Amino acid sequence: MQLFRAAGLVSLLAGVTGAIQVDFTNDDSIKDAASTVAFGLLKYYTGNNTGDVPGNLPDPYFWWEAGAMFGTMIDYWFYTGDETYNAVTMQAMQHQAGEDNDYMPQNQTRTLGNDDQGFWAMAAMSAAENNFPNPPADQPQWLALVQAVFNEYVGRWDTETCGGGLRWQVFTFNNGFNYKNSISNGCFFNIAARLARYTGNQTYADWAEKVWDWMEDVKLIDADFNIYDGTSVDNCGEINKAQWTYNAGIFLQGTAMMYNFTQGNTTWEQRLDGMVKRTIEYFFDDGIVVERPCESFNFCDFDQQSFKGYLMRWMASASQMAPFTFDTLMPLVKSCATAAAQQCSGSPPANQFRGQPGTACGFKWTEKDKFDGLAGVGEQMSALSAIQYTLVKKEPGAAKVPITADTGGTSVGNVNAGRPVDEYMPATPEITMGEKVAAGFLTTAIAFSVIGGSFFVMKA
């Protein structure tokens, strides 16, 4: 891959002049823009085609990103009220739940990471919190699916190396089993915190606290609230200090959930305040989010091109769970949405984009209406996220806030869902280097720190 000189950063102008016109003071205009972007996003999806597998995205996209996409579509329905994609979302979420209702389908076993499973579980958690239509009674239910993943995470908590934590990969024969990363543990923390809030069960909150404490102990979260990528189990003190937006975001939302669950506990408030400040300091230029390790070098892969959208999702959620952050976080979501909408001005060839011409969304939001030529699931999903989350409100009565079991939630749970590790550990040959790895393959990067920035060499 060639390395290009980063474009100069520019300040964001008011209004949008690209192909997607949106007035961010008007909810109907925002919903129209979101609808246009969502249409382009779902045109990448082939799982509802005859002979294809429901829930899967085509190459080069990995399984986890499909789970992230359907989580985005659940929120799309929640905030816009548009039911167009509910049926395909339901089909995908149910099919990929797998044979044992735990988001471990057999066809993903050979490349399954804890983070991959986690992104599907977080989508199911959003379905429960948003009161997305429940599946038929004889099908796996949203809350029970999340509880299954939580219980399996508990069973995988590894105290034999680094004093605890989840490994990146589930199975010993997978590349990355010797790595403990922030996104896998972030999934555990996020799910635990949200289950605590939704169910009121203190056990979930205790595990969220345990994950946070471990992250601090191993220095993956430092005193300044930087969240680093991960560490090898062979040398737990050697930290990969790459910082990605989705690691910051997943802990940001989970921390806000814990603040909400504990009714404003000062420890969680201080943690959240520190995370908000550091996230803004590190990842934002003139109000626009930038993927630091790779964006300015044109070095972001398909996975990394989707990360910004998750930060938008989790910032918006945090602003609802901890209202004291709203006036800090939501203006940034709006400035990013404005820039993202401007970037949705591309017309790539039909084999790259099948949405409405002139509405393909690029990756570099700092480029405004100068389409950067990068079109794909990650770019389209991130733009949709930024745009749709500007519908989040602060005013009592106007805000649509994720619910709990005590405030209208109807999803049925099962506290005993999931399976012990020895029941699903297959006797499978060692994975070959030519096979795909999943969501966090970027975490095998070798980081070379340099003054003013970092370069990363990606390995399969």
Q: What pLDDT score was predicted for residue 426?
A: 60
Res 421 pLDDT > 90: no
Q: Which pair of tokens denotes residue 357? A: 């011409």
Confidence of residue 297 (pLDDT cuts 50, 70, 90): very high
The pTM is what? 0.89
Can you tell me the mean pLDDT for 402-410? 96
From 288-292, 375-379, 447-451, the region with the lowest mean pLDDT: 447-451
Query: For residue 206, how many other CB atoms are within 10 A of its CB?
Result: 11
DSSP 8-class letter at 140: -
Q: What is the mean pLDDT of the chain?
A: 89
Average confidence (pLDDT) over 72-93: 98
Which has the minimum average pLDDT: 8-17, 43-52, 220-229? Answer: 8-17
DSSP state of 448: E
CA distance 408 to 395: 20
Q: Which residue has the higher pLDDT, 222 or 441?
A: 222
d(CA 152, CA 158): 12
Predicted local confidence at residue 427, as pLDDT: 55
Please check the confidence at residue 455 and state whether its pLDDT lies above 80: no
pLDDT tens sequence across 337-388 = 999 999 999 999 988 999 999 999 999 999 999 999 999 999 999 999 999 9
pLDDT tens for residues 230-259?
999 999 999 999 999 999 999 999 999 999
End-to-end Cα, the chain, rounded Å: 14
Q: Span 419-444, mean pLDDT?
A: 56
> Distance (Å, rounded) from C-alpha 147 to C-alpha 415?
6
Share of the chain above pLDDT 90, in %: 82
pLDDT in tens, 38-82: 999 999 999 999 889 999 999 999 999 999 999 999 999 999 999
Q: How confident is the model at residue 423 (pLDDT cuts 50, 70, 90)?
A: confident
Reported confidence tier of residue 271, pLDDT bands at 50, 70, 90: very high
Among 19-28, 70-79, 433-442, the minimum mean pLDDT is found in: 433-442
Instruction: Supply φ then ψ for residue 115, to 5 degrees.
Output: -70, -35
pLDDT band, very low/low/confident/very high, at 14 (cuts 50, 70, 90): very low
* pLDDT tier, 304 (very low <50, low <70, confident <90, very high otherwise): very high
Read off the pLDDT band of 97 (50, 70, 90).
Answer: very high
Percent helix, percent strand, percent coil in the chain, to nearest 5: 45, 10, 45
Residue 422 has pLDDT above 90, yes or no: no
Tokens representing 117 are 């499973």
Give the pLDDT band of residue 8 (cuts 50, 70, 90): very low
DSSP secondary structure string for all residues of 282-345: HHEETTEE--TTTGGGT---TTGGGHHHHHHHHHHHHHHHSGGGHHHHHHHHHHHHHHHHHHEE
**Angle CA 236–238–239, to nearest 5:** 100
